[in-house]
Each structure stands twice: as structure tokens, then as C-alpha cells.
Amino acid sequence: MEDAVVIGGMGIVGQATRKALQIPWYFDTKESNLSLEEAAKKQFVFFCTPTPTDSKGQQKGIDIIDDYIKQIKEYGGRNIFVIRSTVLPGTARHLAEKYDVMVASNPEFLTEKTWEYDAVNPKMIVIGADDVPTRIAVTNLYKKFKIKNFVVTDTVTAEMIKYAFNMWFVTKIIYANQIYDICQINGAKYNTIKEALYKHPWGTHHHLKPIHKGGRGGGGRCFPKDLAAFTKYSNLEFFKTIEKLNKEYLESTHKE
């Protein structure tokens, strides 16, 4: 089966996908070990390319996926395109309709620091497809992973799941920072409060460290860009406030 799959994009997500599914074939703007014509002969084409967000909250990088699909389709294959990149809800469906091809959503759930471990020990697998044959075909790629958290749904829901997770994580970060700031004013012991939240089953074990990696706020490669893109997409005041507060924390501590 691994010979029927090719990976497009060799960043962390691309490398993790290759490792998880033991895929030898890949193409990238910097380096490839097969041509797009050869890639077109594979049944599955995974896209793991970057989707950054500009200063206006506009998601970028979709044009790269679009162009790859256009080029690969011209070779006449009947490929199943699988988007691992974080893309706004509706992207896979739009591309499928635009090119009359099969496009699935298979969002990743990786941590930058532990991506190699996460790749082969996934906590959750989400597969979104809008037709049954595609859904079954992509699901079969993951049969070797015997995990309980296996979600199979449509593409829009799968894309939304990824944002639901990241928005929840960054919201918790801002919540923790707000509580921490109040503790600095009233003298309450934040670490004791944090430990209480850790201990209670309704609490959480993640995202409650106000000072993390030398700064404050939800930084890294994913949180700021995904928060900006989803804030623009949703146009909700709640996320506008979260984004505003997150920027203030990041800028005040020079955290990236």
C-alpha cells in the first residue's frame, strides 16, 4: 500500500506523515524523489504544504495545493487527494468541485517538540470525505493504528475539527494568562490554582502555564496563524478578543 501513496510537502507534517505511513515517495518545491507525472500514477496524493496567514487574516498556501491538483490531474490519473495541511472549512469540497476529483481531509494532530513520537503514536485520527469510496479508501490506510479515537466524517467537519482543537487550546492559554494576571494583582497563588485545575477531572493538564518557552501567549507555528485565519473566517467577537489578547501577550514578551 505504501507504494500507492506520495507525500507533497516535506515540512514537519510531511515528514511525520511519511514516518507514520512508511511512505518512500515525496515531492516538494526544494527536493523530490519523483516527478509529478510519476506522482500522478499513485492512488493517494497527500498534501502537507504550509498554509500561513497574512496580516489581514487571509489564509495563504491554498493556491499551491490547487496548482498541484491541476497539474497532476492533467496526467489523467484517478487520484485521491488528501489534505493534511490546516485549511479553512470548505477547502477540500471547493477543490473537489473545481477539478472534479476526489479530495479528502486528514488533519494532523502533532506537537512540534514531539512530532516524531506523535506520528507513530497518534492520539486521534480524523478522516473526512464526502463520498463513501474515498472515505473507505483513506480509512484503510490507517488500519494498522489500533486506537479508539478514530473519527470518520465529511470534509467540512474534519477541517472544522482541526480548528476547534486549536481554537480551544489557544483560548485556554489566554484564559490562564488572564487568571494569572489577576493573581498578580490580588496576591492569590496561581500555581496552587493551576494544580487544583490539574487535579480535578473537569480541569485540564495542558495550556495553563502563563509563562511558556520564555514568553506569554499562544505562539509557535500554528496558534497565531490559525487563530488569525479562523477569526477572519468566523467574524465572531469572541475570537477577535482572544486574538487581540494573544497578540498583546506575545508582543509584550517578544515571544514568537
Fold exhibited by the domain 162-253:
N-(1-d-carboxylethyl)-l-norvaline Dehydrogenase; domain 2 (1.10.1040)
Domain 2-153 = CATH 3.20.20.100: no
Summarize pLDDT for 34-75 with one digit per residue, the tens: 999 999 999 999 999 999 999 999 999 999 999 999 999 999
Element (H, E) at 45: strand 44-47
Residue 206 has a pLDDT of: 87
Mark out the alpha helices in 74-114 (DSSP H runs): 91-99
Work out the mean pLDDT of the chain and round it to a whole number.
94
Summarize pLDDT for 191-221 with one digit per residue, the tens: 999 999 999 988 888 888 898 888 999 998 8
Domain ranges of the chain: 2-153, 162-253
Please tell me the pTM assigned to this model. 0.91
Residue 146 has a pLDDT of: 85
Cα(205)–Cα(159) distance, rounded to whole angstroms?
25
Query: Look-up: residue for cell 497574512?
Result: 54
- How far apart, in Å, are the Cα atoms of 36 and each of 24, 66, 107, 134? 15, 14, 23, 22
Check: CB of residue 57 under 8 Å from CB of residue 88. no
Residue 208 has a pLDDT of: 84
11: left (phi over 0), alpha (psi -120 to 50) or beta: beta
Residues counted in the chain: 256
**Using a CB cutoff of 8 Å and minimum separation of 24, what contacts does 191-194 make?**
none
Summarize pLDDT for 116-167 with one digit per residue, the tens: 999 999 999 999 999 999 999 999 999 989 888 999 999 999 999 999 999 9
Summarize pLDDT for 72-83 with one digit per residue, the tens: 999 998 999 999
Cα(81)–Cα(36) distance, rounded to whole angstroms?
13
Question: How many CA atoms does the CB half-sphere of 242 hold within 13 Å?
Answer: 29
Q: Say yes or no to pLDDT of 18 above 80.
A: yes
pLDDT band at 1 (very low <50, low <70, confident <90, very high): low
Which of 169, 235, 226 minimizes the C-alpha distance to 51? 226
| 28-51 burial: b if 16+ Cβ within 10 Å, else e | eeeebeeebeebbebebbbbbbbb
Check: CB of residue 47 under 8 Å from CB of residue 83. yes
Pull the grid cell for residue 194: 493551576
Burial of 89 (0-12, 13-18, 19+ CB in 10 A): buried
